[in-house]
Every structure is written in C-alpha cells, then in structure tokens.
Amino acid sequence: MATAIEGSVALVTGGNRGIGEGFVRTLLAAGAAKVYVGSRDPAAAQHLVDESGGKAVALRLDVADPAQIAEAARIATDVTILVNNAGAFLNQRLIGAETMDAARQEMEVNYFGLLGMCRAFAPALKANGGGAIVNVLSSGGLVAVPVMGGYSPSKFAARAATTSIRAELAKQGTTVSALIVGSVDTRMAAHVAGAKERPEDIARVGLSAIKRGTTEVDTDRMAVEVRAQKALDPKAQERALARMLDVETISTGR
C-alpha cells in the first residue's frame, strides 16, 4: 500500500519548527493540498501560513493534552496523512534526576501523545481512503542511550507501538511508517556537537516512505551506523554509549 502526496491533506504535530517545519514545507512543495501545522502556540506557525498562501493551517495542538487532540480530530476530518513529529527531550538522567517528572513528561509526549494521535485520527484516515501515518522516532529507539535519560526509553516504546498500530490499521488500508532519525540540526539537538542532518532531508525520506508504504527506514547516516554497530557488536556499542555519561560534550563524531 502507498499514499500519494499530491492532493493530500496532512497534519504535522510539532510542525512549527525543526523536523516538523521541514515536513510542512516538503509536503507543500510536493503538492499537498493542505497541511495542518500542529503547534502548542498557533502564532508560532504563522510564518508557514503566510509563506504558503493559506495552504498551511495553524492548529492549536499539544499532544500531551487529550482534549486538544480530540478538538484537532474534530476540526481536521479531511486528513489523509498524519505525521507524528512532536517530541520532548528534557536532558535529565533516569537515576541522577531529582524526580521522575522529566521521564514522565517524555513518555507522555513521545509515547502517549503519539498513541493518542493515532487513535484519534484512525477513523478519519479510514473514512478518507486509508492514508498514512508517519511516526518520527530516533536511533535512541534502536539502542538504549543512557545520556538521553527518559527520551530513549520513550522512543523504544513508540517504536513498539508503531508495530502494533500498523497491524491494527492494516485492514483499513492505513500504512504506518517509522522513521529512525539520527542527529538533526534542530533546537532539540543544540547541545550536540558535530555534523547534523538538515530537517528537510529527513522530511524527504519521510515522504518517500509514505509514497512507497515503507514500514521502517533509517533516515540518515547516523541512524544507519547505529543499526549497523548494533548488529556487529551490541555489547561494544553498549559500553561506548555508557561512556558518554562521563564526557562534557556530546558529539556525532563527524
């Protein structure tokens, strides 16, 4: 199964900046008829509305708020493509943090928010012919990264959920793709040194997954290398990732 981009109606969570913004621009450039730009503050998406000539529509949406998810689903009944991009990374350790608040928030956004969006929009996707869901995940969902605290476990959970959601929605003709993303030049990765991918390049890989009905794809060099290292020597990779706890500057190594 595959979904056409041209003429589609998409919703991108966290669409006002970073990878989400890259998705909005790339979808419109590829011929999408409309893109809802999900943002906790719709004013933060106004630049996309202005430059798109109205094809981008700002939509108040905090994926950690079930009421806002329900309201978005009530408004955006014409959606054929859902991009679950919104994410939280609070850069606190699992044991070292004073409380579990950060880990809970990361799980609330990265796992429960993604699940809530899929549940809310599955009926609209079915009614509109099946469509596609793209979940923007992380190489931190392939391997446990201790320095990421609760972020990495939340992405593990989201990746597992993606597999289950794909199975549940297969009969209604909805494809569900997982994007495994490495280090990207966004605010979330501002603390990481070294080479980073451009958000629009990640989005282009995502659009290719939509068009081909791909189930999971590594979007960039780092993601490919992480998967390869895991296959080659998982224990050595685990030791290397653990050593990152003791370094002052996290780097992509390039």
Q: Please state whether beta strands 132-136 and 81-84 pair in parallel, antiparallel, or not at all (unpaired).
A: parallel
Question: Which residues are bridge partners to 59 per DSSP?
Answer: 38
Distance from C-alpha of 164 to C-alpha of 186, rounded to nearest angstrom:
29
Query: 132 pLDDT exceeds 70?
Result: yes
Instruction: State residue 187's pLDDT score.
Output: 53
**Could you identify the residue written with the tokens 């009944």?**
77
Contact 65, 86 (CB under 8 A): no
Q: What would the pLDDT profile of 9-41 be if each residue is shown by its tens digit?
A: 999 999 999 999 999 999 999 999 999 999 999
How many Cα atoms within 13 Å fall on the side-chain side of residue 112? 11
Cα 139 from chain centroid (whole Å): 12
Residue 189 has pLDDT above 50, yes or no: no
What is d(CA 126, CA 137) in angstroms, rounded to the nearest whole number?
23
Structure tokens at 252: 């992509």
- Residues 78-126 have pLDDT tens digits of 999 999 999 999 999 999 999 999 999 999 999 999 999 999 999 999 9
Q: What is the pLDDT of residue 22?
A: 97
Q: How many CB atoms lie within 10 A of CB 68?
A: 17
What domains are there in the chain, each with its CATH number?
9-251 (3.40.50.720)
Q: What is the mean pLDDT of residues 128-147?
A: 97
Distant-in-sequence, close-in-space partners of 189: CB < 8 Å, separation ≥ 6: 183, 196
Q: Are 55 and 32 in contact (CB under 8 A)?
A: yes
Strand order in the sheet with 56-60: 56-60, 34-39, 9-12, 81-84, 132-136, 175-180, 216-218
Q: Is the pLDDT of residue 147 over 80?
A: yes
**Average pLDDT of the chain, as a whole number:** 93
Question: What pLDDT score was predicted for residue 246?
Answer: 84
The pLDDT of residue 249 is 63
Block residue for tokens 């780092």: 222
User: In this structure, is the dihedral angle defined by the CA atoms of residues 106, 112, 118 and 123, taken in order, positive or negative?
Assistant: negative
Structure tokens at 192: 């990481």
* Burial 102-117, CB ≥16 within 10 A → b, else e: bbebbbbbbbbbbbbb
Q: Does 196 score more than 80 pLDDT?
A: no
